[in-house]
Structure 1
Amino acid sequence: MIPATRSVIGMTTGDDSTHREMLTGGMANAGAVFRQGALVDRPAPRTARAIHAHLLALRQHGFDAAPAPVHLTHHGREQLTFLPGDVALPPFPPWAMTRTALMSVGGLLRRLHEAGARVPLDIHVAWPRDLADPEGGTLLCHNDVCPDNVVFRDGRAAGLIDFDMAAPGRPLWDLAMTARYWAPMLDPASATAYYPAGLDAATRLRILADGYGLSLPERAELPRTIEQATAVCRAFVARRVADGDTVYLHAFAERGGWERWDRIQDWLVRHRETFTTALLE
């Protein structure tokens, strides 16, 4: 699954601060995200005020690889600084799937978590539960580090965008969600529509864990956590389909419905030992 709830920010050209340019990509916010000079104007998530405070706190702790919040309007929109670079949109190009790119995604996520661990979690915020860690936690996880939400420069991950799905959880949960998109943790038939051919999920899972600097005990837990994250994503899609969300209904039918989800979950369980071995060897 590539969540349809993400925002859409891509690379643009030119630096005319008076020019308002629609940014391409994404699904739910398609046609609603614009760049004007150094700023991005987009629909604000329900938790925008809390996210803005968190992003500012991250910068105080040395993490400047996320947009800086600038303004919240009275019309349900927000302005943030634009992160220049390249963003991979599906079908994902080979340059975004290199070993260097994958290692850098792990390193960027580790930097986010290290800075986030020093920021007190606002427990009074009704953080979204859609993709949140069911076990909870004290770290504000991104929860949607898919290729669409990573800004690259010179072939390396340099920025993270779209914190709309951020919610409390374990660092391992955020890495598991990230692995789903970057290994990817999909059966070959499901992966072929969006990813270059020939990607070895077990090898790439190890590379991502190495880039993150994942401990041995957490490596042993990661495959089952990915299975748990996949089940949460499936339930999220089920709720959207049941609610009649047209974006999800279209994507659900186009991508194979529940048969595809059954295939992915079965594939993960059958290859659990392979993934564990690759992580621990």
Structure 2
Amino acid sequence: MTTEDEADGEALAGGTANAGAVFRRGAWVERPAPHHAHALHAHLLALEESGFDAAPTPVSLTADGRERLTFVPGDVALPPFPSWVMTTTALGSVGALLRRLHEASAGIPVDPDAAWPQDLADPEGGTVVCHNDMCPENVVFRAGRAAALIDFDLAAPGRPLWDVAMAARYWVPMLDPESAAALYPAGLDASARLRILADGYGLTPEDRAALPGMIERATEVCRAFVARRVADDDPVYLRVLAERGGWQRWDRVQAWLAAHRETFTAALLD
């Protein structure tokens, strides 16, 4: 974190699209509001009412297009990711937290009229509002375990397994060794870690068998998301693409996932 002028609050580091635009002001966080903020805030309040205490509570929307949410205390890892956030204990707790979110969300009706963002949403849709962006920067840790989720901007209805696949991309990570080395500690065993995430979540055998293919599909959707931003000359995504190896990196990751599909499936089911 870096501290700005007191009048502007404390700038919170991290993020991509909202980098430099998120501030803590005491017990609140103020940030740009997503276009579907009314529906999202209603869902977050319903989560809280259901007993899910691991997400920010909406406070208000401002006239200038920003939202206020409660500040969630704890530790958030930023890239390059430190070893403490990549322990097996941390990984299992990420799966357990995502399961808690899905169980709470399953009891909340989806607003059919809301313009849920489709950027990273499950192409098949679904009846559970998924987070869709459970990267390390969006998970708050306490005492080495995942305790809360933040930044629900890309949340949208989908299948729970889709959310697990999205999370696996970041937390295993589901990246070829060359790509992983740029952001993650050395020596992470993808097959073993994928099993730990699945165990932490409590995936059924059927979902375990489907997970590797779902991760490949999620990777395609993420690539298309970046491609749209690059085609629109978004400076943030142009910079990130260049810094992380360009389209060759995406080609390498996708080829690696396909080549290891059977290995990952065996690790999940054995």
TM category (shorter chain) comes to over 0.9
User: Measured at CA, do residues 19 and 257 of structure 1 come closer, stay the same or move farther in structure 2, by a change above 3 Å?
Assistant: closer
Equivalent position amino acid for 1:146 in 2: C
User: 2:148 corresponds to which letter in structure 1?
Assistant: G
Task: String of CA shifts for 1:58-89, please: whole Å, max 9, x gaps.
Answer: 11111010000001011000000000000000
The alignment status of 1:75 with 2:64, answered yes or no, reads: yes
Q: Does 1:192 align with 2:147?
A: no
Note the C-alpha offset of 1:18.
Answer: 8.3
Which of 213, 224, 247 is the equivalent residue of 2:202? Answer: 213
Which digits, 9 at most, give the CA deviation of each residue in 1:194-234, with x for residues without a partner? 10000011100000000000000000000000000000001
Match of 1:30 among 19, 25, 40: 19
Question: How far did 1:256 drift?
Answer: 1.2
1:49 aligned to 2:33? no
| 1:92 matched residue in structure 2 | 81
Q: CA deviation at 1:28?
A: 2.1
Contact 1:127 1:166 in 2 (8 A): yes
Cα contact 2:141–2:147 (8 A) shared by 1:
yes
Residue 257 (1) aligns with residue 246 (2): yes
Select 2:54's aligned residue among 33, 52, 65. Answer: 65
Q: Percent identity?
A: 73
Could you tell me how far apart the structure 2 residues matched to 1:278 and 1:30 are?
Answer: 37
Q: Which residue of 1 aligns with 2:168?
A: 179
Q: Equivalent of 2:225, from 225, 232, 236?
A: 236
Distance in structure 1 (CA, Å) of the matches to 2:28 and 2:7:
11
Taking the aligned partners of 2:7 and 2:219, their CA distance within structure 1 comes to 43
Q: What is the alpha-carbon distance in structure 2 between the residues aligned to residue 248 and residue 197 of structure 1?
A: 26
What is the deviation of 1:37?
A: 1.0
Cα offsets for 1:129-181 (capped at 9, x unmatched) = 11010011011110000000000000000000000001111000000000000
Aligned match of 1:126 in 115, 118, 131?
115
2-structure distance, mates of 1:202, 1:222? 12
Aligned AA (1:164): D
Q: Normalization by structure 1: what TM-score?
A: 0.93
Instruction: State the alpha-carbon separation in 1 of the partners of residues 127 and 15 from structure 2.
Output: 29
Amino acid corresponding to residue 18 of structure 2 in structure 1: N
Partner SS, residue 259 of structure 1 = helix
Q: Determine helix, strand or coil for the equivalent of 1:191.
A: helix
Q: Is the 8 A contact 1:106 1:210 kept in 2?
A: yes
Aligned match of 1:169:
158
Per-residue deviation at 1:22?
1.1
The unaligned stretches of length 5 or more in structure 2 are none
Contact 1:87/1:148, CA 8 A, preserved across alignment? yes
Q: 2 CA distance for matches of 1:265 and 1:18?
A: 46
Q: Which runs of 5+ in 1 are unaligned?
A: 1-9
CA RMSD of the aligned region, Å? 1.4
Structure 1: distance between partners of 2:92 and 2:59: 31
Partners of 1:44 and 1:216 lie apart in 2 by 39
1:272 to 248, 255, 261: 261
- State the Cα deviation string for residues 13-40 of structure 1 (Å, max 9, x = none): 9xxx988211112232122111111110
Q: What secondary structure is seen at the aligned counterpart in 2 of 1:52?
A: helix
Which structure 1 residue ranges, 4+ long, deviate > 3 Å from structure 2? none
Q: 3-state SS of the aligned residue for 1:41?
A: strand
Tell me the secondary structure at the aligned position of residue 69 of structure 2.
Answer: strand
Q: Match of 1:219, as an amino acid? A: R
- In the alignment, does 2:148 pair up with 1:159? yes
Q: Is the 8 A contact 1:19 1:37 kept in 2?
A: no
Distance 2:253 2:124 in 1: 23
